[in-house]
Amino acid sequence: MNREDERHLYLRVADQLRERIRSGELREGDRLPSVPGLAADLGISRSTAAEALKVLISEGLAVARSGAGTFVRLPREPQRLIRAWYRATPYGSPFMQDMDRQGREASWAYESESLTAPAEIRDRLSLGEPAGDEEDAVRTHYVFSADGEPVMLSTSWEPLWLTRGTPIVLPEDGMLAGRGVAERMLSIGMPIDDWVEEVGARPGTTEECERLRHAPGAIVVTIQRTYYSGETPVETANIVVPADRFALVYSGRMGRVSGTNKSSAEDGA
Amino acid sequence: MNREDERHLYLRVADQLRERIRSGELREGDRLPSVPGLAADLGISRSTAAEALKVLISEGLAVARSGAGTFVRLPREPQRLIRAWYRATPYGSPFMQDMDRQGREASWAYESESLTAPAEIRDRLSLGEPAGDEEDAVRTHYVFSADGEPVMLSTSWEPLWLTRGTPIVLPEDGMLAGRGVAERMLSIGMPIDDWVEEVGARPGTTEECERLRHAPGAIVVTIQRTYYSGETPVETANIVVPADRFALVYSGRMGRVSGTNKSSAEDGA
DNA sequence: TCGAATTTGTGCGTATGTATC
DNA sequence: GGATACATACGCACAAATTCG
């Protein structure tokens, strides 16, 4: 199965351990052979044994606990978060819909504040230069939970010029609280037409991992989402989900202009 | 500036080097001090000096080239890979289009083979149980490069029952070589209508990181893409991109059934 | 073209600190 | 407290890749 004889000793040892995990001999949470143990069993040096374990750790297949040992940590089958479906409905919050679909109980906590948006957000919301230190956006921090366990962080920004004086200035206030951005914006005559999401991944910050009750430095998937009403950006959010628990699902149709777009829909061959 | 006295020597050395990069003293492509050099200058052991460099490498701030040295590699603003746009055209390979749009020179290498698809792929292609050890799929490994640098891996699977006996059995053979799946499938009367992508992130495997010339264990974004012609899956691929270089962009319209879908379009209030 | 010098990578050995059980 | 385990730090030797005269 190996493409070559695998020149390096520590890689061969790593392969061997990986195989014992793959085969099911070593299971989630089991202790891997210790560094001195491996060294003695295989007649190799401790440094080399340690090197082999580091390979598995860097691949995310194991975690080391100082003083205790090195333990198998299998990647979980991730839950699917449906981010786009070509039959998507615009009502209710996407997160709620998803959890409903999977029969999990969704809940969330939030905290809103008006302030002057930072440069990156100004850009995404086309806010232009700040007028002195005037507050021009509402920021809301969300922590979403499924079955009581925190699973998603979101920081949402809405321009104040849009919502000032309307009943929906505060996202989680009034009749439409918890109904999602789309419905709220519709209520003030700004129906959301388009969305753009930019997806990336990075190690989570200490704060993010704490809030998600996650191991420090664990990988998170980040989404920068912006909603548009016509050409006007009406909301943007930075969303963070733990990568080992969630996969994002996008879906669409190819080769045709979708929906009734002003830029005339021709029929693809 | 350091939050603590930083107990460990190799971390202090790493901090020092990182600072020299941050300050601009060391620039993109510059050679960092060599292991023996560092050891001599700072009066530390070679192993510790090497350890310090490994920290920078794992942070993606440097790359080592065996025999040559260790070089600064500054994080770039991530390139945007456009995965979905509601004005998308079905012709040409998506990767090529993207690189064109960004004025980068795209190239790729590939390797095709027919074999019996593994369980996970059978599932995605609706292949059912394997008939003995009969080959029933064509697998193609791709390495895509931009400006000579490998940036994306893809393993594509196509069911043999579809393409056997047609001019497009081998993806990179014949007239339509390099034109992308959509065009090839169209040529045998299977136009691609729908796509589904499942996006996740994890540490790269040793092999993936090698192929991408990336630090071992660096974070990769994974995409599982499946193309459908009607209800029939005609291709599926596992795509891997380094997370520190790319962000995926998805975009769409909200609240309407897109395109002319057979499953009857009702008009949302 | 060849070889010498340099550099990273691997592998070995040892010792010490510190966390966990 | 004692045994065990990982993490750091030191030392050395050699292989393989690269660079340059």
In a 3-state reduction of DSSP, which class is residue A263? coil
Which residue numbers in chain A have pLDDT < 50? Answer: 1-3, 87-90, 256-269
Q: Which pLDDT belongs to residue A166?
A: 87
- Please report the pLDDT score of residue B204 as a whole number: 92
Q: Are A55 and B206 in contact (CB under 8 A)?
A: yes
How many CB atoms are closer than 10 A to CB A170? 16
Q: pLDDT 10s per residue in chain B (269 long)? A: 444 567 899 999 999 999 999 999 999 999 999 999 999 999 999 999 999 999 999 998 999 999 999 999 998 888 888 887 764 444 556 677 777 777 778 888 888 999 999 999 999 999 988 878 889 999 999 998 887 778 899 999 999 999 988 888 887 777 777 677 888 898 899 998 888 999 999 999 988 988 888 888 899 999 999 999 998 999 999 999 999 989 999 988 876 443 333 333 333 32
Q: Which of B51, B55, B86, B260 to mutate to test the interface with A (most CBs of A within 10 A)?
A: B86
Tokens standing for A63?
């975690």
Residue–nucleotide distance: A17 CA to D14 C1' (Å): 27
Closest alpha carbon to A199 in A84, A60, A119: A84
Q: Which of B224, B254, B257, B260 best probes binding to A when mutated, by most A CB atoms within 10 angstroms?
A: B254
Domains of chain A, start order? 3-72 (1.10.10.10), 79-251 (3.40.1410.10)
Residue burial B59-70, b: 16+ Cβ < 10 Å; e: rest: bbbbbbeeeebb
Residue B80 region by backbone torsions, left for phi larger than 0, else alpha for psi between -120 and 50, else beta: beta
Partnered with residue A170 across adjacent β-strands are none
Size of interface A-B (CB pairs under 8 A): 179
- Binding-face residues of A in 56-95 toward B, CB within 8 A: 57-60, 75, 78, 80, 83-84, 86-91
Q: How far is B253 from chain A (nearest CA, A)?
A: 4
Could you tell me the sign of the dihedral formed by the alpha carbons of B150, A22, B199, A184, in that order?
A: negative
CA distance A246 to B198: 10
Please report, as a single letter, which amino acid is at residue B52.
Answer: A
Looking at beta carbons, which residues of chain A come within 8 Å of B196? 249-251
Give the gap in angstroms from C-alpha A147 to the nearest C-alpha of chain B.
22
Predicted local confidence at residue B68, as pLDDT: 95
Question: Rounded to whole angstroms, how far apart are CA atoms B214 and B187?
Answer: 38
Residues 42-61 of A with CB under 7 A from strand D: 47, 50, 53
Please report, for residues A126, A158, A184, A187, A268, the alpha-carbon distance to residue A163 in angstroms, rounded to integers and kept in the order given.
Answer: 15, 8, 10, 11, 40
Q: Å from A246 to nearest chain B CA?
A: 7
- Interface residue A197 vs chain B (CB under 8 A): yes
Q: Is the CB of A4 under 7 A from strand C?
A: no
Find the DSSP H helices in chain B.
Answer: 9-22, 35-42, 46-58, 94-101, 119-124, 160-163, 181-187, 206-211
Name the DSSP letter for residue B173: S
What is the SS3 assignment for B233-264?
EEEEEEEEEECCCEEEEEEEECCCCCCCCCCC
Answer for A29: CB within 7 Å of strand C: no
**b (16+ CB within 10 A) / e for B114-149:** bebbeeebbebbebeeeeeeeebbbbbebbbbbeee
List the single residue in A with minimal CA-CA distance to B267: A89
Q: Is A247 in Cβ contact with B252 (below 8 Å)? A: no
Contacts of residue A5, Cβ cutoff 8 Å, sequence gap at least 6:
none
What is the full DSSP assignment across B87-123?
A: T---SS-HHHHHHHHTT--EEEEEEEEEEPPPHHHHH
End-to-end CA distance of chain B: 57
- The whole-number Å distance from B66's CA to C8's C1' is 4
Nearest residue on chain A to B77, alpha-carbon basis: A200
What's the CA–C1' distance between B68 and C1, in Å? 21
Task: List the single best residue of A87, A197, A234, A264 to mutate versus B (max B Cβ within 10 A).
Answer: A197
pLDDT of residue B258: 39
pLDDT given at position B91: 53
Q: Residue A48, CB, less than 7 Å from strand C?
A: yes
Cβ contact A259–B263 (<8 Å): no
- Rg for chain B, CA atoms, rounded: 23
Question: Which bases along strand C come within 7 Å of a protein CB atom?
Answer: 6-14, 17-21
A248 touches chain B (CB under 8 A): yes
Q: Which of B192, B203, B268 sits opposite A90 (nearest CB)?
A: B268
Q: Would an 8 Å CB–CB cutoff place B197 in contact with chain A?
A: yes
Alpha carbon distance A114, A109 (integer Å) = 17
Residue B74 CA to residue B114 CA, distance in Å, equals 41
Work out whether strand A69-72 and strand A62-65 pair parallel, antiparallel, or are unpaired: antiparallel
Q: Which residues pair with residue B225 across a beta bridge?
A: B197, B237
Backbone phi and psi for residue B182, each to the nearest 5 degrees, phi listed first: -55, -50
* Number of neighbours of residue B182 by Cβ within 10 angstroms: 25
The answer to whether the beta carbons of residues B132 and B193 sit under 8 Å apart is: no
The answer to whether B65 CB sits below 7 Å from nucleic acid chain D is yes
A141-192: pLDDT as tens digits:
999 988 888 889 999 999 999 998 888 888 777 777 777 788 889 889 999 9
Looking at residue B125, what DSSP letter applies? T
Q: Give residue for tokens 């390797």.
A: B111
Task: Tell me the one-letter amino acid at A39.
Answer: A
Instruction: Give the residue among B70, B59, B1 at the shortest CA–CA distance from B219.
Output: B59
From the list B189, B135, B177, B191, the residue with the least C-alpha distance to B159 is B135
Residues 6 or more apart whose Cβ sits within 8 Å of residue B52: B10, B11, B13, B14, B17, B38
If we measure between CA atoms, which residue out of B199, B193, B126 comes closest to residue B157?
A: B126
DSSP state of A49: H
Q: What is the pLDDT of residues B168-221, one digit of tens each?
A: 888 777 777 767 788 889 889 999 888 899 999 999 998 898 888 888 889 999
A259 closest CB neighbour out of B244, B253, B263 = B253
